[in-house]
Amino acid sequence: MDYFNYQNQNLFAEGVALADIAAEFGTPTYVYSRATIERHYKAFAEAAPSRDLLVCYAVKANSNIALLNLLARLGSGFDIVSEGELRRVLQAGGDAKKVVFSGVGKSVTEIEFALQTGIKCFNVESIPELERIQQVASRLNIIAPISIRVNPDIDAKTHPYISTGLKANKFGIDINDALAMYQQADAASHLKVCGVDCHIGSQLTETQPFLDALDKLLALIDKLAAVGIHLSHIDIGGGLGVPYDGETPPHPAEYAAKVVEKLAAYPQLSLIFEPGRAIMANAGVLLTKVEYLKPGQEKHFAIVDAAMNDLIRPALYSAWQSIIPVQQKSDVQALTYDVVGPVCETGDFLGKDRALAIEPGDLLVVRSAGAYGFTMSSNYNSRPRAAEVLVDGDRSYLVRQREQWQDLWRGEQLVP
């Protein structure tokens, strides 16, 4: 559930009219709802009352420091994949002790920085990375807490939408090699083995693949216990899907209940979730203005002022996101449009074949844009990045100003 609703044919974010946001801050603009973010976070945080649970929000989904700060104030931890994300978390008032560091390519300087800030855990993805962390930790004389990201190789035939938990991709350690790697870690002077983690994919709409992965992790935990290696946490990653187009993913409470049931025999394990999309996607929209309507023989185009550089999911993944008008008009004929941006690429579209009753100058929103929206944006075609606005009740706050012209060439230099 979210807080973007029509009142008398006008779309509101909580108590603020989107039309007022466009008038005050311009377009294109990302608009987020604080109540929605907090509701979604709490759905996870309160989902397993019988367990010691830490929600580590996946920062890559949306890394604006105002949003990170809201989550930090609620006690959230964070899943990061770069020093930049860690610095954002710290800047936002997040607690380093609640940070897990994922990703296959951690550099020496990133490891140093993470050790010095005292993060909760490194989610290690390869043996060379494990050895690098040991070397850096020993040089700094800090004990590095580690978890090994295992790749549970969930059968793609049964669950074809899973893309990151298969042997064929770059993530994690083959689960059959994990025992030996844990023994190597356990013997290292500056590593402390804390947990196990996995992340099998994103936008999952069923719980079964998570449970299959969990079974494999628990079998590994048993094997480790048999050789005297006792873990304190299990991190089952993110990946819970959201409704973009009528999908019906399980509620976090339903998902968590099934996970908790499987963990009954493991009271010593604390639990970590790394949700990104499920917290942010439907807490944000991309607000844009119709510049031109361009009728055609085969297609009608609505050319808007947001483009693939602002929201790349439709172009990159053929992702479908709902597009609705800010003002519902009954006196305008609805036509079927491809909603496209000004970027010079055929792939620059936000949605195809959408029935819309619109006129030039009207405002539209692309829904479900709070996750992997702004964070994947770029300056392609020298377009300044959009503004970001956070609505809280009947107030709106600019949480990132629209980029200025000078921002486009910041750091660039002429040669003599």
Residue 78's DSSP bridge partners are 57, 99
Least spacing, CB of residue 61 vs ligand LLP, in Å: 5
Applying the rule CB under 6 A, the residues between 111 and 150 that interact with ligand LLP are none
Active-site residues, by number, are: 344
- Note whether 276 and 55 are within 8 A (CB): no
Q: How far is 19 from 287, CA to CA, in rounded Å? A: 9
| Selected binder of ligand LLP within 152, 165, 238, 284 (CB under 6 A) | 238
| Selected binder of ligand LLP within 14, 79, 110, 310 (CB under 6 A) | 79
CA angle 221–226–228, rounded 5-degree value:
90
User: Of 50, 118, 59, whose CA–CA distance to 269 is shortest?
Assistant: 50
Candidates 31-39, 233-241, 330-338, 343-351; binding stretch for ligand LLP (CB under 6 A): 233-241
Annotated binding residue 276: yes
Of 9 and 107, the one with the shorter C-beta distance to ligand LLP is: 107
Applying the rule CB under 6 A, the residues between 46 and 65 that interact with ligand LLP are 58, 61
Instruction: Render 346-390 in DSSP notation, one character per residue.
Output: TT-EEEEEEEE---TT-EEEESS-SSSSGGG---GGGPPPPEEEE
- Whether the bond between 267 and the residue before it is cis, its omega within 30 degrees of 0, is no
Q: How far is 199 from 169, CA to CA, in rounded Å? A: 12
| Interaction pattern, residues 300-319, with ligand LLP; x per rule: CB under 6 A | -------------x------
Query: What single-letter DSSP state applies at residue 188?
Result: S
Annotated binding residue 345: yes
Helix (H, G, I), strand (E, B) or coil at 135: helix
Q: How far is 133 from 121, CA to CA, in rounded Å? A: 11
Candidates 2-10, 11-19, 32-40, 274-282; binding stretch for ligand LLP (CB under 6 A): 274-282
| Residue 277 touching ligand LLP (CB under 6 A) | yes
| Residue 159 touching ligand LLP (CB under 6 A) | no
Annotated binding residue 195: no
| Residue 152 touching ligand LLP (CB under 6 A) | no
| Residue 282 touching ligand LLP (CB under 6 A) | no
Helix (H, G, I), strand (E, B) or coil at 194: strand
Q: Which residues participate in the annotated binding site? A: 239, 274-277, 313, 317, 345, 372
Residues that bind ligand LLP (CB under 6 A): 58, 61, 79, 102, 199, 202-203, 237-240, 274-278, 313, 372
Q: Which residues are annotated as a binding site for substrate?
A: 277, 313, 317, 345, 372
